[in-house]
Structure 1
Amino acid sequence: MAAYAMCVMPIQVRPPRRDEMNAYYLALPYANGLPSWEPADAAWHGGPEPWPPQRTPATAEQLEKWAEADVEDESFHPIATFADGACVGASATISFDVTVPGGTTVKMAGVTATAVIATHRRRGYLRRMMQAMFEAALDRGEPLAMLSASEGSIYGRFGFSPATYRVRWELDRHEAALLPAAPDPGSLELVDATQAKKFWPMVHAEVRVSRVGELAPLPGRWDGLSDGADGTNGPLRYLVHRDQHGDVDGIANFRLPWSSAVDNAGTLVVEALEATNPMAYRALWSLLVDFDLTRTIVAPGRPRDEPLRWMLASPRAMRITRQSDNLWARLLDVPLALTQRSYDSVDELAFTIDDDRMCPDNNRTWLLRTGSATASCVATDQEADLTITVSALSSLYLGGMSAHDLTYAGHITPHSDGAIGRLARMFRIDPEPHNSFGF
């Protein structure tokens, strides 16, 4: 009796070819109308209902349109898992520049659209895709990876940890009185979407220079702005501020959605607001918090340390109603990443990393010297002041997290007196890092 050997195709983790892009998209929940995020009251969503809304499966025409755009996009780097010739997992990174302490930018791999189909989970495919993306990012000279976590329990095992937060706040109009201030020499103007598309890149480019955590936008970032209605959400409206010379130095997108429930009627949602100086910032908010025929102002996706609170006659009137982590960071090349940001304190600190299974070159004792024109970070044989996990160091990188809290939680172990205080002074910044859009 003849024996036949079964041919089993090996698992492949690689970028999909052009003719495999449709199958690549169909491994992702959003292309199938399946949930792609934890159901929650998201801090970047202004409405009262849960987010995200239900999706419908993508059409063949949509898949082809996505494929054409992504193949031509040099910043988009897809990766897929193939088992028995079928695409069973998909992810991608997008090459961004992110502002770090000191105002410089660092090349960053933004992990996006990640999934393994339900029948092939718990087989290590996600880890293999993540490893491939890390290695490709390092080859491109990107020492940092970041993502927005669709599920909070997944990405910590790959070394990611929260680095920025965002909040949704509410303000009742009758409590929105601002403290007296000097007269505004500029002016406010309502503009249409065509003008907003022109002004947004200008304002954002100036803001992101000084905002740690902010991303450089990809081409087409504001192309979707429209004057048309969006169902019961109503149309977006655009408000700009001009300085005394007529130059635009602030812009806001807002809408007045209709609600069938009287409790949510009369709400003004500020979907985005940026200003290059305090005068423009105050002027924009002064109009938006006192808009005719409204009762409540809602602002999603805002930084935790919103200066408007301190402009109010009653600071407690601003109520944070939702909060969530935003960007999660992951250092891929520790010495390169640490020497591309600046530090306010002059010090040197030796620290050990011994838990990085995916980027093993990070596992050693490093000596970080700060305070000169450029920081240095080199391997050392001297005794470490502390041991820190790669995820904790990644959280500290942008300057918004507490070294004390990470130590209390067991992610940092001090070996010398005062080590945690010195670490905190080296890394912490004010204001906290924030990014205004996701990917």
Structure 2
Amino acid sequence: MTIEIRPITRAEAKDYLRVLPWANGLPQEEPEPSAWYAGRAANPPQRKATPEQLDRYAEELLTDWFRPQAAFVDGKIAGGSAIVSVELTLPGGRQVPMGGVTSTGVLPTYRRRGLLRKVMAAMLDDCRERGEFLAGLSASEATIYGRYGFAPATFQHRWEVRRTDAEFRTPFTDPGGLDLVDGATAAAIWPVLHEQVRAVRVGEVSPLPGKWSGLADGGLPADGRGPAHHLIHRDAGGQVDGAAIFRLPWSPDPDYAGELQVDAFEALNHDAHRALWGLLLDFDLTKRVVAARRPVDEPLRWMLANPRALKFARTRDNLWLNILDVQRALEARTYAAADAVVLEIDGVTWRLDASPDGAACTAAPGASADVSLTVSELGSLYLGGVRASEFRGAGRIAEHTAGAVSRLDALLQLDRAPHNAVGF
């Protein structure tokens, strides 16, 4: 058996697509209701790509931002994956290049032969060569990608509220206004709104080309959940400062009838946030609101008269990070305090001199480490979504200097939990 790992050529694009689960009508997600999906099904139905679709997808594949690698076994493509070029917002607001892993699959008849490990190694080498010191992905299964150095760094909630329970604690007078708009208007609004959001939200990623172009098409989505409706909020000056995409699917089951499903929601300030949820939670002829892709520190819970009314249906990891260059990564973000800590990461010792203005990270061979960890733990800690003390409690971080883990927590903490609503 001869194995070759390399980028695909244009002529091999369709063969590469044929190894991917989504092109074969196979599941792409674990069989549980996802935090990123507001519908009731465990997964949206899969449909095998038609020859015409494969032709179109193959033409779209080979661009500057899509970098596929394939595993050839005896000359045949048996597996593959790809890196997409995106940006990630770090603590402090810096937006840095990140290699996003996507479109991954190995044919069932070629599994357990190390093909994905070889493909992943080639892709991460490509990231390093291009100067990307971070790689990220959204894991279909939580047990796969840890072996390649990835670790969960951001998390999402899927929650629901019964309309009869959705009373707000205090009255509200909206200084702006709400409007229902068509898909074409929404398609023009969302890219601008998202750029404003990702400039200030740690963990957010840049969208892939054409992310919102489909909003203008309208009509029924492939999963049959009914057409999208577009709600926007404008401030007192007429500027859009919030938007939501929701659906009202029909259901033959009375238990699920009258359910409003929120697919996307963004607000730049409290007024937009309060006004948008105020309408979505009191829409005529509905009885329940289900929201997907919500941050773990969603403020709506504390705006309700009864905080228990917001019930969490699912919590799961979202963005997984792999730190490809420890020094560059630790110097790229800012910190919540000024302190110096010596970290032993996978046997290599680093001194981190951190402050709210930036940091210096230098190799410190022979220095006594305050804390020992692996690059996997660092990936989870990096954006502030997981505390070092949690890993210490799990036996995954060793503290050598009393109080060092608490000091590390103080350095990495954020005012808001990291969150990314846009995938890749």
Q: What's the TM-score bracket when you normalise by the shorter of the two chains?
A: over 0.9
Matches of 1:169 and 1:56 in 2, distance apart? 28
Q: Does 1:91 align with 2:81?
A: yes
The answer as to whether partners of 1:143 and 1:332 remain within 8 angstroms in 2 is yes
Q: Which amino acid aligns with 1:399?
A: G
CA distance in 2, matches of 1:304, 1:193: 29
**Secondary structure class of the residue paired with 1:233:** coil
2:393 is aligned with 1:408? yes
1:239 aligns with 2:248: no
- Report 1:275-354 matches (<5 A): 275-354=267-346
2:255 equivalent to 1:227: no
Aligned to 1:359: none
User: What's the CA shift for 1:398?
Assistant: 0.7
Q: How does 1:52-71 map to 2 (within 5 A)?
A: 52-53=44-45, 55-71=46-62
Calculate percent identity across the aligned residue pairs: 50
- Distance, in Å, in 1 between the alignment partners of 2:73 and 2:324 is 28
Aligned 1:183-198 pairs, distance under 5 A: 183-198=173-188
Is 1:100 matched up with 2:90? yes
> What amino acid sits opposite 2:209 in the alignment?
P
One-letter amino acid of the structure 2 residue matched with residue 332 of structure 1: L
Q: Which residue of 1 aligns with 2:355?
A: 371
Q: For 1:312 and 1:101, how far apart are their aligned partners in 2? A: 30
Alignment of 1:146-295 (within 5 A): 146-225=136-215, 226-230=217-221, 232-295=224-287
269-278 vs 34-43, greater mean Cα deviation: 34-43
TM superposition score normalised by structure 1: 0.94
Letter in 1 for 2:176: G
**Distance in 1 separating the partners of 2:77 and 2:172:** 61
Q: CA deviation at 1:143?
A: 0.5
Alignment root-mean-square deviation, CA: 1.3
1:225-278 superposed Cα distances (whole Å, 9 cap, x missing partner): 133233742211101111111111111101101001000001111111111111
Please give the alpha-carbon distance, in whole angstroms, between the structure 2 residues aligned to 1:106 and 1:181: 41
How far apart, in 2, do the equivalents of 1:325 and 1:251 lie?
Answer: 24
In the alignment, the residues of structure 2 paired with residue 269 and residue 57 of structure 1 have an alpha-carbon distance, to the nearest angstrom, of 26
Q: What secondary structure, in the 3-state scheme, does the structure 1 residue paired with 2:277 have?
A: helix
Instruction: Tell me the secondary structure at the aligned position of residue 308 of structure 2.
Output: helix
SS of the residue 1:339 aligns to = helix
Listed one character per residue, the Cα deviations across residues 194-250 of structure 1 (whole Å, up to 9, x for unaligned) are 100111111111111111111111221100113323374221110111111111111
Tell whether 2:71 aligns with 1:81. Answer: yes
Aligned mates of 1:52, 1:377 — CA distance in 2: 45
Aligned partner of residue 264 in structure 1, secondary structure = coil
Q: Which residue of 2 aligns with 1:360?
A: none
C-alpha deviation, 1:404, in angstroms: 1.2
Question: What's the offset of the Cα at 1:376?
Answer: 0.7
Deviation of 1:288 after TM superposition, in Å, equals: 0.6
Q: Highest CA radius of gyration, 1 or 2?
A: 1
Deviations 1:266-319 (A, max 9, x none): 111111111111111111110110011110011011111111111111111100
Structure 2 residue aligned with 1:29: 21
Name the aligned partner's letter for residue 403 of structure 1.
Answer: A
Q: With structure 2 as the length reference, what TM-score do the two structures score?
A: 0.97
Question: 2:410 & 2:316 partners in 1: Cα distance?
Answer: 25
* Kept after mapping to 2: 8 A contact 1:232/1:259: no
Q: Distance in 1 between matches of 2:208 and 2:407?
A: 37
Cα distance in 2 between the residues matched to 1:365 and 1:181:
55
The residue matched to 1:416 in structure 2 has which SS? coil
User: How many Å apart are 1:179 and its aligned residue?
Assistant: 2.1
Distance 1:232 1:87 in 2: 34
Give 1:384 deviation, angstroms: 0.8
For 1:155 and 1:376, the matched residues in 2 are separated by: 29
Check whether the contact 2:334–2:356 (CA below 8 A) recurs between aligned residues: no
Work out the CA distance in 2 between the residues paired with 1:406 and 1:430.
20
Which residue is equivalent to 2:377?
Answer: 392
For 1:124-152, what per-residue CA distance to the aligned partner results, in whole angstroms no more than 9, with x for missing partners? Answer: 11111111111100111110011111111
1:380 matched to which residue of 2? Answer: 364
Q: Is the 8 A contact 2:336 2:356 kept in 1?
A: no
Q: 1:376-417, CA deviations, whole angstroms, 9 ceiling, x for partnerless residues?
A: 111013111111111000100010102111112222111111
How many residues are treated as equivalent by the alignment?
421
| Change beyond 3 A, Cα 1:372–1:241 | closer
CA distance in 2 between counterparts of 1:351 and 1:116 reads: 37
2:121 counterpart letter in structure 1: Q
**1:218 and 1:153 mapped to 2: Cα distance?**
26
Structure 1, unaligned runs of 5 or more: 1-7, 355-362
Equivalent-residue separation in structure 1 for 2:51 and 2:19 (angstroms): 14
Give, in whole Å, the separation in 1 of the partners of 2:377 and 2:36: 25
Post-superposition shift, 1:372? 5.8
Offset of residue 181 of structure 1: 4.3
